[in-house]
Chains A and B, each alone.
Chain A
């Protein structure tokens, strides 16, 4: 007979249950999403009009840095791990994750990492102010003293990610229900399997680069100091060898979520399942050989420049295959447009727009004009906000009834969608224009020729922020007083998670199900 959760705070501290840990990851990432959002709104408030009104340039730089770090490592990555914790065991018919105690540990070190990172805001000299890409020597010789805390926080986040990734790989490889071969796994499971390998490959590289910084700062080495025989560009090579796969870590699980949602609401099976798997693998492979496209202006030799340009353009092929597959899934379906579907469709459209600007940025000579301008800011927010944030949101609306047993309010969900959709486009579309007009990124003040676009962006940012408050309200209202959901929730959804009752019992699949 199944036993229920423990009572009180110890339930959460000691839990090894994948559902509890998944919930904690999701709430934690939601909190970080608001924290990172507040940082972003400080940036947009300062940029509302030319001149310095609200913050000093140094604090502005701390905001851009902390916004990036908190969103990447605190909001997006833990949210995907939270979804993986909840959904992977339920989708493959496993009773829990393979390594439940490590699961507890990998979550619980995160709040400490972010408490430490956030505490740097109150230190003398301020928080890290060298951008989330922390290029040396700005982040070494010229960094505020808090950089050491930043390095330690990054180490903890990396350890957490690696443990999470090991757990996911061990679970998927060992705990699938009888009959579920690799090529029958749901795409969310597939994309997470590939993502987990990317994490194990690159998080140690990040740990390496911050350790080299630590050595340069405190132990007299000169990895990144030309005066001691080092090379500042070495930092960028190592960082982006981590950094480029990292951006795919933030998008591949999103592909999996959208591949689950679109077939459900198009009432038609996913088009080209196996090509989706191969395309994901191809994207993951290519992500290791394109890192220097972030560095077209550092003075690479022409051969390097050409190689990284062509390799980068090549990524458009598998990515295109995925987009075409989603469109083909929708084609001749019988579609309805509930909130998860709206977010998924917006994902496909806006992620494609982000892909277009990515293709333009891949053209090395053109990148000499785009590089480090607001055009780049527009590009990566178009892939990350609709890509990661919208897909996570879609996933939450899609699976929330299964998690808590209650249905969310559809009207409020749709209002959230439209407000977020409009807010996002009003914020980030004008950034293409300010960037092309010549506005560099990471500046606290600017000439009047960029004023109109910036004002529009700032208004959009506050709109987008308001939409997320609505999201929070909607989730709480669903959990507290939502209408009871059915076990299937949607109309004939595909997957083992819909075969268990709503809400999903504390323990599911204690005896493995038979997969057709």
Chain B
């Protein structure tokens, strides 16, 4: 609940300071974004056009309706000595103001229907990307290219807690962005592993629910190279606000180079699986993996959240190591504990298991090697 009383005091002080100086903010006014982006795809530009069309229709109707209302409020007031009229019915008027809105709606609906049909046409794509939502990260697989990776929030914890200055891409930055080629029709196939998520990049006009057990698709032709950022747009639990999307659109050659780089990195990782690590190497790597993938639920101090996420200072971390590995690799069905076997590499799992058994005052003294994890996955 209240993080600290100190936090509250700091906030109250901040409130007072901000109020007194809030109009200094006017200097930043050029940063004040207030309209929908035009975006960089045919669909997003279509949507922007529809949005502005609807906006101006509403402004027009508003001017007429509110105009009559305000005229009436100024002129037809008792204090000006007017006598009220007594009319209270007119079938002709009622029919008119039923028919006119009806006609306006048809004028609005036709272009919207056209755009919708275009938006739904995912045929003849040149690049297919499978996107899977996890609590709370995205997994990208470029189909037919054997490239698959997870993309996590990379904003440092200190920036979120206010101990470090926030960088301009605060909460909109990831460790591994998705790279896509410009000028090609890209099909996004969206699904989820646990709860419903939603993959949304405003500049593409793509927003699709990621639903466990089902797939949805959408498409984009990115017209300009650049870095495009988005966020999960469906409440998916505690860290819903902390699973951003970053897409870098590059030339086809650069995209190809990125694919090769990803494949080489995967091959190097596979080799590491056979290596034997020292305890210190595993512990150091494990701490890093833990903070990235586990601390969101089990907390940085390993104590978890009572009633929601179990403590790791007791329980599995101080029990048999095979059981510990099994929980990390296969998860616990029916709970929020996911199967990390496919999310983390053998090296990462070995490291994090080693870390959990020996951190926060735990002192099991044993360790897991990547090969142990590999063997466990193979059922040995």
State the A residues within 8 Å of B (CB). 45, 48-59, 61, 123-126, 129-131, 135, 137-138, 141-142, 144-145, 225-227, 231-233, 266-273, 275, 297-299, 302, 305-306, 309-310, 313-314, 316-317, 320-321, 323-324, 327-337, 345, 348-349, 352-353, 356-357, 359-360, 363-366, 368-369, 371-373, 433, 436-438, 440-449, 452-453, 455, 459
Contact = CB atoms under 8 A, between A and B. Distances in A.
In order of increasing CB-CB distance, the 5 nearest A-B pairs are A226-B213, A125-B307, A443-B241, A124-B307, A433-B34
Given A45-B11, A55-B3, A271-B89, A138 B112 contact: no
Given A436-B34, A444-B241, A364 B112 contact: yes
A324 B97 contact: yes
B209 A270 contact: no
A331 B51 CA distance: 32
Contacts of B88: 268-273, 329
Interface in B104-161: 105, 108-109, 112-113, 115-117, 119-120, 135, 159-161
A426 to B, nearest CB: 12
A165 B10 CA distance: 49
Contacts of B101: 316-317, 320
A294 B94 CA distance: 30
Contacts of B11: 45, 48, 53-54
Contacts of A55: 1-3
Contact of B235 (A58, A141, A437, A442): A442
Nearest to B94: A275
Given A314-B105, A363-B54, A373-B233, A333 B85 contact: yes
Given A349-B66, A369-B47, A57 B206 contact: no
B18 to A, nearest CB: 7
Nearest to B95: A275
A15 B99 CA distance: 50
Interface stretch (B69-77, B266-274, B317-325): B69-77
A365 B97 contact: no
Contacts, number: 324
A53 B209 contact: no
Contacts of A45: 11
Contacts of B73: 330, 335, 345
Contacts of B116: 302, 305-306, 309, 364-365
A297 B84 contact: no
A232 B54 CA distance: 32
B380 interface: no
Interface of B: prevailing SS: mixed
B2 to A, nearest CB: 7
A303 to B, nearest CB: 10
A516 to B, nearest CB: 16
Given A271-B87, A320-B101, A366-B47, A142 B72 contact: no
Contact of B76 (A302, A333, A372, A433): A333
A366 B238 contact: no
B162 interface: yes
Contact of A61 (B1, B8, B85, B238): B238
Contact of B65 (A275, A323, A452): A323
B85 A332 contact: yes
A414 to B, nearest CB: 15
B7 A54 contact: yes
Interface string B47-77: 1001100110010011001101100110011
Nearest to A273: B88
A356 B198 CA distance: 26
Contacts of A268: 84-86, 88
Contacts of A329: 88
Contact of A137 (B83, B195, B198): B195
Contact of B236 (A52, A138, A271, A356): A138
B308 A144 contact: yes
27 contacts: A45-B11, A50-B170, A50-B171, A51-B161, A54-B2, A61-B240, A131-B235, A135-B234, A141-B195, A142-B336, A226-B213, A297-B233, A299-B208, A299-B209, A309-B109, A309-B116, A316-B105, A317-B101, A328-B93, A333-B72, A335-B76, A337-B77, A372-B207, A440-B241, A446-B171, A452-B31, A453-B32
B307 A53 contact: no
Contacts of B335: 141
B23 to A, nearest CB: 11
Contact of B58 (A335, A356, A372): A356
A351 B213 CA distance: 40
A208 B195 CA distance: 21
A368 B105 contact: no
Given A57-B241, A142-B195, A320-B97, A334 B78 contact: yes
B78 A267 contact: yes
